[in-house]
Structure 1
Amino acid sequence: MLVKIPEAPDDLVQQLKLATGMATASKAFLAAARSHEPLLAQVEALTAEVQSLKERLERSNEVIGSARAAAVSLLGSVGPGRKAPASLKDLGDWFDSQASLDLHPKPAADWESFAEVVRDINDDGSLVKGRDPGSS
């Protein structure tokens, strides 16, 4: 069957021949027509993925905004005479310098004192009832 497309611009025919690897215009048009459906499905899948990534980015930006607000609130507790951190590195250094913010407890000096602490903790992480922590 002969299909003639007299209004097809020469540059379009050349582009299709290059893109499809076909030697003739009719084979190039046929190859382009055959690839239309799979390419359309691919575009739809990629569009859905982009939308999903946009939503994920929006949620991440909300988390970052909340973290910034929490950091500002925390920095608001800087006492008089203390300099507030100007960058994230400074913030980390500031946390490290705060003796009153013991966020990382020191390890036990020896196994005996470690055993005293562990003895007062149940398997589920709760304290043993009826005994003061550290008592025998």
Structure 2
Amino acid sequence: MEIINNKYYEGYEGEGEMQFIRYLSNGDKYVLKIWDGYFDEIMREIQPEENGWTGLAYYYNVEEPWWERPWKIQDIDIVIKQLRNIKTEQLNKEAKELLIELCDILSSSWELNEDVWIADE
């Protein structure tokens, strides 16, 4: 079964859309659809580490592979740490809520050893 959450894309239909796709251990697929403006707002708050960009921020700032095809998030634990370290004062209400949801999705998938992919639709 495919479960779709489009809460963070409603009202933005036809504009840029990101998808976080979690493959659940029970065989289901959970798809979180996001307006790319919210995603960009969150990603702008991640700063490079001492040795440069890492985790999701590396792909966002350097390679952007999701423009070409869906790709599996590597090092989910690093991505979780990056997202949890974001200072939310600068984020709007929806981006703050989305950040919490992304942390929850990634944390659960990491604990259960599930894959999460990103796609640009």
Q: Give TM-score scaled by structure 2 length.
A: 0.19
Where is the helix percentage greater, Structure 1 or Structure 2?
1
Question: Which structure has the bigger radius of gyration?
Answer: 1
More strand by share: 2
Greater relative contact order, per chain length (Cα 8 Å cut-off, separation 6+): 2
